[in-house]
Amino acid sequence: MIVEMRKGASSEEIDSVVEKAKSLGLDVQLNLGIEKAVVAILGSNTGQLPTELFAVLSGVENVTRIMKPYKLASRGFKEEDSLVSVDGIEIGGRRIVVMAGPCAVESEEQLVEAARVVKECGACILRGGAFKPRTSPFSFQGMGESGLKLLARTKEQLGLPVITEVIESQDVGLVSKYADILQVGSRNMQNFALLTNIGKSRCPVVLKRGFSCTVTEWLTAADYLLAGGNNQVILCERGIRTFEDSTRFSLDISSIPVIKNSSHLPIIVDPSHAAGHYSLVPAIAKAAVAAGADGLLIEVHPNPKEALVDGLQSLSPSDFARLMEELRAIAKSVGRYI
């Protein structure tokens, strides 16, 4: 941490910074420049210290953190890539893992039909929401536990592992009983009670990026999961909120190489929520694979026009089949396969 003193700060003010650092067990190196003094504070866990501890002291102009606030999710902590394994399917390896299915579980017929389609096209994990966080209280809120049961039954029938969202910390146990992968939605990325509970479980988890959270905050949220002992963590980029309004969110394609540089965790991409419109999904999905994503989470509905939720961003079976063909070519061109 670098503490920059104000021009003309007194030696008492500088001393109080040095003492604060020492009281926290940290090393200090003092740079007395011509215009202002700068105090470098050294130690192995300065990333986890709030900068305010020093910024609040009198005579201090600015405090800059050199170390990142996340630790367990960082490449510095673990150099080699992490692999997450789900029913023998490895996420983070050479295979591009495609998870697909409807936004919400609506009925057995819809779910089984969707599962059949996505399996035929080469997806290896089935997605489907039973608990749906909805912006308006007047919208369809999901089927709840009966939706989870349909997911489990479909899994048995077709042999596709299942990913579904958990939205409350008290439901972690319930959802884990049925799901192979828990999904933490964008609005819950900083629901720390939920993260803490999932951290205690050993169920693989997809942590979606908060739509207004930085990569640094995202990896710090991942630390909540890892700190609890759950190291089956997959990150999922799904678009951030910007001023641009031609898409629902702006997919942050650069976050893929940034994560690959900074973290050992696998990262997948959800092009459907970012785009908000089915016609944009294929281009974004292809870009994600080309940029190095380890997988995709795609909404597919047997009949998007009848979908209860997010029909507009769902691919039809034939669109999905075509996209999978195109993705295979892209995957091959970057030395991977689907």
Query: Segment 284-303, which members bind its own copies (CB under 8 A)?
Result: 284, 286-292
Near its own copies in 206-225, by CB under 8 A: 211-212, 214-217, 220-221, 223-224
For its own copies, give the closer residue by CB, 160 or 249: 249
Which residues neighbour 159 within 8 Å (Cβ) at sequence distance 6 or greater? none
What are the structure tokens assigned to 254, written together? 């650069």
For its own copies, give the closer residue by CB, 43 or 161: 43
Give the Cα separation of 273 and 276 in Å (integer): 5
Near its own copies in 136-165, by CB under 8 A: 136-139, 141
Near its own copies in 61-120, by CB under 8 A: 62, 64, 66, 69-71, 76
Give the Cα separation of 140 and 101 in Å (integer): 18
Which residues neighbour 314 within 8 Å (Cβ) at sequence distance 6 or greater? 102, 103, 272, 278, 299, 300, 301, 304, 307
SS3 300: strand
Question: Does the protein bind its own copies through residue 167 (CB under 8 A)?
Answer: yes
Per DSSP, the residues of 38-83 read EEEEE-TTGGGS-THHHHTSTTEEEEE--S-S--TTBTTT--SPP-
Judged by CB under 8 A, the residue of 15, 42, 200, 202 near its own copies is: 42
Judged by CB under 8 A, the residue of 104, 111, 148, 274 near its own copies is: 274
Query: Cβ of residue 158: shortest distance to its own copies, in angstroms?
Result: 26
Question: Does the protein bind its own copies through residue 24 (CB under 8 A)?
Answer: no
- Element holding 222 (H helix, E strand): helix 215-227
For its own copies, give the closer residue by CB, 86 or 97: 97
Give the Cα separation of 214 and 230 in Å (integer): 22
Give the Cα separation of 9 and 6 in Å (integer): 5
For its own copies, give the closer residue by CB, 124 or 285: 285
Question: Does the protein bind its own copies through residue 29 (CB under 8 A)?
Answer: yes
Question: Does the protein bind its own copies through residue 337 (CB under 8 A)?
Answer: no
Site string for its own copies, 232-271 (x = CB under 8 A): --------xxxxxxxx--xxxxxxxxx-xxx---------
Judged by CB under 8 A, the residue of 22, 94, 177, 187 near its own copies is: 187
SS3 113: helix
Give the Cα separation of 337 and 68 in Å (integer): 34
Judged by CB under 8 A, the residue of 275, 296, 315, 338 near its own copies is: 275
Question: Does the protein bind its own copies through residue 205 (CB under 8 A)?
Answer: no
Question: Does the protein bind its own copies through residue 169 (CB under 8 A)?
Answer: yes
